[in-house]
Amino acid sequence: MRKEFNVAVAGATGAVGNQMVACLEERNFPVKNLRLLATARSAGRKMRFRGEEIVVEELTELSFKGVDIGIFSAGAATSQKFAPVAAQNGCVVVDNSSAWRMDVDVPLVVPEVNPHAIAGYTNKGIIANPNCSTIQLVVALAPIHKKVGIKRIVISTYQAVSGTGKKAIDELYYQTRAILNFLEPEKKVYPHRIAFNCLPHIDVFLENGYTKEEMKLVYETRKILEDDSIGITATAVRVPVFFSHSESVNIETHQPISPAEVRSMLTTAPGVKVVDDCQQNLYPMAIDAAGKDDTLVGRIRADESIANGINMWVVADNIRKGAASNAVQIAEILARDYLSK
Ligand code: NAP
Ligand code: 3JN
């Protein structure tokens, strides 16, 4: 019989947490008992799981007693504080924040790319889930890196507001509605209006002139692909889209590879769906990726300005594959291959 686990979702009432609960149900994760954790503000609220109502509890140091797997999505400060507490209680944490991603003792995992790294969970009892923009990038690039080696990556992202959480989803909705009604839109979440606008600003600015989101792409990609020699530069842009991040990706490879070879290789790559038929106006779009777990790749073409260059357009649902489903996939491998013995 399949072993069942006591699971806790920290940040269950958030944009990502909600989807984590949905993914656990959809993927038929072997849950014995589910605890839903959030702030005191949400305690007492009810959420549905497998047709039953579960009461949300306040996250405290006592929340993890008897819990086998904790899936965290309540922000980096909460993870920094509570993931070690959970681990001390024997609960393995799959953490969706940036708190532990670059810790050398914490594996940073995308199941299609480096599932073997999960074994490192024994170091600290924590496994990190990468940033959403990194996840879809490495799902698309890992097969190419394996075959011909990637020397350099230039990425420009077009990121949906849901990446900022439930308040930002409301902000885009209310600003759009206000503008279409000739009213002054209110700004609460972003420093500028997001409706009918693009902001080249995600997360905080750093001393090197990049944003933290841009540098997450650089460091996390190298860690997951296990190659610090790859040159990576990024521009991260917030766009007025509710769900799914899109990325313009330019790569330079060590050995030559044609667009047809890339297309063929990605057709069989796990987690990838090639959508690439310009004659039929078929290419990846945010509205098609939303609600799904595949990473859509298209507009695959040669970069004619260099010898071994390829351009592509990569799109995935940032809340699903970019956060919730990637975390649940990690938990599945952990449960099946490491905690069932
Ligand atoms: P959100 O919609 O604002 O939800 C935040 C969730 O965290 C809510 O459930 C909130 O509870 C809970 N929370 C906040 N502070 C807490 C605390 N001190 N103790 C317990 N619970 C707390 O945000 P989101 O979009 O779901 O994102 C949540 C986090 O996930 C982000 O901060 C980030 O670290 C991570 N994230 C990662 C990615 C990725 O790229 N992989 C993408 C998006 C988000 P209440 O409802 O009670 O306030
Ligand atoms: O903005 C996006 O599209 C992705 C946002 C991710 C995010 C938002 C707030 C805090 C993160 C993250 O996962 O890197 C964090 C964080 O944990 O630092």
Do 69 and 94 touch, CB atoms closer than 8 A? yes
Instruction: Output the pLDDT for position 98.
Output: 98
**Measured between alpha carbons, how far is 289 from 32 in angstroms, rounded to an integer?**
31
Is the model more confident about 76 or about 2?
A: 76
Do 301 and 311 touch, CB atoms closer than 8 A? yes
pLDDT tops 80 at residue 68: yes
Residue 76 beta carbon below 6 angstroms from any ligand 1 atom: yes
**Measured between alpha carbons, how far is 311 from 278 in angstroms, rounded to an integer?**
14
Tell me the residue ranges of DSSP E strands in the chain: 5-10, 31-38, 46-49, 52-55, 57-58, 69-72, 92-95, 126-128, 150-159, 231-238, 245-253, 272-274, 295-302, 309-316
Which ligand is closest in space to the CA of residue 135? Answer: 1
- In the block, which residue shows the tokens 């940073």? 108
**CA within 13 Å, CB half, 178:** 15
Instruction: Output the pLDDT for position 117.
Output: 98
Average pLDDT over residues 2-25: 97
- What's the mean pLDDT when you consider all of the chain? 98
Residue with CA at minimum distance from ligand 2 atom 4: 163
**Measured between alpha carbons, how far is 173 from 243 in angstroms, rounded to an integer?**
12
Average pLDDT over residues 217-242: 98
Q: What is the pLDDT of residues 19-48, one digit of tens each?
A: 999 999 999 999 999 999 999 999 999 999
Residue 78 beta carbon below 6 angstroms from any ligand 1 atom: yes
Pairing verdict, β 272-274 and 295-302 = parallel
Instruction: Output the pLDDT for position 1.
Output: 77
* Structure confidence at residue 133 as a pLDDT band (50, 70, 90): very high
Residue with CA at minimum distance from ligand 1 atom 15: 74
Residue with CA at minimum distance from ligand 2 atom 8: 164
Q: For the chain, how far is it from start to end, CA to CA, in angstroms?
A: 12
Residues making up the chain, counted from first to last:
341
Q: What tokens does 336 get?
A: 């099946």
Q: Is the pTM of this model over 0.85?
A: yes
Which ligand is closest in space to the CA of residue 15? Answer: 1
CA of residue 130 to ligand 1 center, whole Å: 15
68-93 burial, b for 16+ CB within 10 Å, e for fewer?
bbbbbbbbeebbeebbebbbebebbb
Instruction: With CA atoms as reference, report the closest residue to 225 among 332, 117, 307.
Output: 117
Q: What is the pLDDT of residues 260-312, one digit of tens each?
A: 999 999 999 999 999 999 999 999 999 999 999 999 999 999 999 999 999 99
Do 141 and 150 touch, CB atoms closer than 8 A? yes
* Structure confidence at residue 85 as a pLDDT band (50, 70, 90): very high
Instruction: With CA atoms as reference, report the closest residue to 315 among 291, 341, 333.
Output: 291
Which ligand is closest in space to the CA of residue 11? Answer: 1
**Measured between alpha carbons, how far is 143 from 165 in angstroms, rounded to an integer?**
31
Q: What is the pLDDT of residues 180-213, one digit of tens each?
A: 999 999 999 999 999 999 999 999 999 999 999 9
- E strand or H helix at 76, and its extent? helix 76-88
Tell me the residue ranges of DSSP E strands in 21-74: 31-38, 46-49, 52-55, 57-58, 69-72
Residues tagged active-site: 132, 245
| Candidate of 213, 243, 245 to mutate for ligand 2, largest count of ligand atoms within 8 Å of Cβ | 213
Instruction: Output the pLDDT for position 341.
Output: 78
Instruction: Output the pLDDT for position 2.
Output: 85
Residue 163 beta carbon below 6 angstroms from any ligand 2 atom: yes
**Measured between alpha carbons, how far is 327 from 130 in angstroms, rounded to an integer?**
9
* Structure confidence at residue 340 as a pLDDT band (50, 70, 90): very high
For residue 99, the tally of other CB atoms under 10 A from its CB is 21
